[in-house]
Structures are given as structure tokens and as C-alpha cells.
Structure 1
Amino acid sequence: MTERPYVLLSCAMSVDGYIDDPTPERLLLSNAEDFDRVDEVRASCDAILIGSNTIRRDNPRLLVNSEERRAARVARGLPEYPLKVTLTGSGDLDGELKFFNTGGERVVYCPDRALTKVKTNLGDRADVVATGETLDFGIMLDDLGTRGIRRLMVEGGSQVHTRFLTEGLADEIQLAIAPIFVGGGGPRFVNDGTFINTFRDRMRVAEVTTVGDVVLVRYIPTKAKLGA
């Protein structure tokens, strides 16, 4: 049986747990040093996943920005960029968005009912994989494993992080906590949900460090894979 990738959830949030505010402009919670740290983590991973809601809202490229880090990946026999991954239940994806037109290969996961719509919208910009009647995260991870993905970085948004945590599919959480309060109205790191014991129990704090004015905390669930 193919091994699923190690799943690392990455998120920047305010002290009161928000990842954005209700204004149209994107709230930047990280600082320059933390953005560089995230770039380094991206470069260390085989794939980066982001939800379709976040793609529509923020129109990110989701790249490794450092030329040196990309060159180091190539020197190790890896693609210049990690595989870019997204998932959609509705199939409402615009092929003109930056995610689908900038560096690296792309794969999109969707339920059977959205397969034709996604292929029509994206053409040859991405490999599209159906996961059955529902958007099945287990099937997605199994498929990524068959593609040689050993380390998957998940950058949100809230719905995606919540699914990984409520289904017990995350091996590590990296939270960058910015020294501000949002005060309400925006999305949070996770939504309400029924979290399994792996995450309801006290997690292990693997690291606490400052990155400029941001505090980075790494959590390891009690039953996460060894070697974290």
C-alpha cells in the first residue's frame, strides 16, 4: 500500500485566531522574515495545497520565490517548484487565475459530479482527479502518495484546515501568531467541528520561536507519524 504524505498545516493568524479581516483588502499577518520562513518550508515540501475558496479570494501564485531554493531543489533532482494542489466541491475554478498559470505542475481534486465542469474550466492547465461521490480527503492523500509526494504543506483556508483536523489527517501544525487583534468578522484558522481525540488531547509543543514580531509555534498531535 502506498504511504500517504506527511501533512503539515501552516497558518498565520492574529492573537484572537483570525486569518483575515472583513475588508476586501487582504490582511497581511506575517512579516518579511516570516514570509521568508514560509518560502523555505515550501521549498522543503513535495506539494503545497490550498483550497479553492482561497484561490478565488486571494488569487495567489503559490510559488517558491527564492531562486537559490529553487536551484537547490533542482540540484537534489526535484522539480523546480513543488506540485500545486487544490480541491473543489463545486468545480467553480477560473483557469485564468495565477495559480493555474505560474510555475509548477498542478492537480485538482473534486467529486465525480464536478469532474466535467473542472476539466472544461481548466483545459490542460491541471491534472483533474475525481474522488467519488464526495470530496474525499483520504482518496486525495492516497493519490498524492502514488505521485511520490512525501511531504505536503497545507496553507488553508479555514474549511480545508478544519477537514484535515476533524478527520485526523494532519501530522503537524505550524502557527505564526501576529501581535494584533482583528476583533471579529473575518475567517478563523479553523471552523467549529468535532475534533477526534488526537487533536482534543493535549498536543506536543515541538518548537516555540520568534520570527521578527511573530511567534511561531509548532504542534505535533499525540499520534502523529514518527520522525517529526
Structure 2
Amino acid sequence: MIRPYVTIFSTMTVDGKIANSNKYSKLSCNEDFKLQHYLRSINDAVMIGANTAIVDNPSLTVRLVEGSSPYRIVVDSKLIITPSLKIFSDPKRSIIITSNDSDPKKLKEFEITGVKIIKVERNKGLDMETALRKLYEFGIKKLMVEGGGHLNYSLLFKGLVDEIWITISPYAFGGGISFLEKGELDEIKAEFYIKEIKQLCHNWVNIRYGVLYPKKSIV
């Protein structure tokens, strides 16, 4: 299939959590933030899920390194987001991926500001293969994902991820929200290989993995 080259970026605790049960997720150090902004600067777009957009309200711009800010993409099957979020501060550089049956009135609120809407089928989740193909046709060749556990899971286990950049922080929650959040993963469903390891801020470690499987080739 034709799709962008997809890289997930995430910072987690030693026990694999990206946030605690109260959604506290401040796990990065300064060098990790710079790495995150560097990755944004070399990608055409950065994607998050609706819950991340609402809870964290990120701008997803490039500020800590040289480079241009990418397109900002929100995946929202039920269209629960609002135009007031920071991600829509530059509407013409913003994209929403949603379902074909989303409320037309809500869609209109975004469209009149210049936000691009990509609609796909929904069947036990959005058809992300079609969504990525449409992003590629729009000109998004390299895509960074700063998703929550559900978005990470849905992309990885559909074979739509090429690299994962994981920073392991020197913390543990003992509970909370996992990097891959959907039921129990009680068997090996994915395999990776190490491309690079960097020590950050003394006690943080970033591991750059390539995905062996599941992975659908980029044609």
C-alpha cells in the first residue's frame, strides 16, 4: 500500500507507562524534549489522538530546535474535540481524521476555518490504512505519531508503523496507562530491532527501534 513512513515517539516509565491513573504524564527531561522537537522538524506531520488533544492540549510545534513546524493531525472518530484547542492555532496546517458518519454541523465548524477533514469508514475503529493513504496523497510522506496507548496500538498491530523511538525515564508508576493500551498482550505480537541507543540527561535512555513485524510494506 502507499502510505507515509510512520514513526511513533513516546516517553515512558521503566514499567512501560506513559501516564499514571490521574493522566499525569510529565516524564521527559530537557534532552528528551529536544529530541522530540527534532523529530517533529524532520517529519511532514505529527499525529495525536482526541484524548491526548483534549487532556494535554499540545501545540505540536517546533520550538526547541531549528526547523519548520509540521502539519498537526488529530484522530477523532466521534469528533469530541473543539476548534479552541492549540492544535488548531494555525487551521490551514491542521487535519482531522474522523468517521464518515461524524456530525456534519461539527465538521462545518472546522472546515470554515480552513482545517482539512479526512473521513474514513469506522468498523471497530477507524480505517487507518485508508486514512494514511489519503495523507500520502495530500503530501504527507513522513509521519510522526505522539499518540496515546490506543492510537499506538491501532497503528502498530495493523502493520502501519516503521520505527518506534522510546525514551525510558527513571521512574515507575506501578499502574496507569500503557504505551500500548488495549486488552492484554499475552503473546508476542510484534518484533523490533535496535537502530540506535542514546543516553539523555544522565538517567534517561532513548531507544530507536525498527519494526520487523507486523509491518506492511510501503509501495
Please tell me the TM-score bracket, short chain as reference: 0.7 to 0.9
Structure 2 match to 1:200: 189
Equivalent residues, number: 212
**Aligned residue identity for 1:116:** P
Looking at secondary structure, tell me which structure has more helix per residue.
1
C-alpha separation in 2, matches of 1:139 and 1:127: 16
TM-score by length of 1: 0.84
The range that moved more, 117-126 or 89-98, is 117-126
1:106 aligns with 2:105: no
Does the CA contact (< 8 Å) of 2:91 and 2:115 recur in 1? no
Q: How far 1:126 moved relative to its partner?
A: 1.1
Alpha carbons of 1:67 and 1:214: their partners in 2 closer, same or farther (altered >3 Å)? closer
- Match in the other structure for 2:3: 4
Percent identity reads: 29
The answer for the alignment partner of 1:86 in structure 2 is 74
The answer as to whether partners of 1:9 and 1:161 remain within 8 angstroms in 2 is yes
What residue is the counterpart of 2:209 in the other structure? Answer: 219
Per-residue deviation, residues 31-89 of structure 1 (Å, max 9, x unmatched): 0111011101100001100001100111111111147323xxxxxxxxxx211111111
Query: In 2 relative to 1, CA 10–59 (structure 1 residues): closer, same or farther, beyond 3 Å?
Result: same
Specify whether residues 149 and 93 from structure 1 end up closer, same or farther in structure 2 by C-alpha distance, changes over 3 A only: same
Write the distance in 1 (CA, Å) between the matches of 2:66 and 2:208: 25
| Counterpart amino acid of residue 134 in structure 2 | D
Whether 1:190 and 2:180 are equivalent positions in the alignment is yes
2:190 and 2:18 map into 1 onto residues whose CA distance is 24
Cα RMSD, aligned residues only: 2.4
The runs of 4+ residues in structure 1 deviating greater than 4 Å are 223-226
What does residue range 5-24 of structure 1 map to in structure 2 within 5 Å?
Answer: 5-23=4-22
1:112 corresponds to which letter in structure 2?
N
Cα–Cα, structure 1 residues 201 and 61, in superposed 2: closer, same or farther, change >3 Å? closer
Higher strand fraction: Structure 1 or Structure 2? 2
**Residues in 2 aligned to 1:202 and 1:87: alpha-carbon distance in whole angstroms:** 25
Unaligned 5+ runs, structure 2 = none
SS of equivalent to 2:67: helix
State the shift of 1:130 in Å: 1.0
- Residue in structure 2 matched with residue 76 of structure 1 by the alignment: none
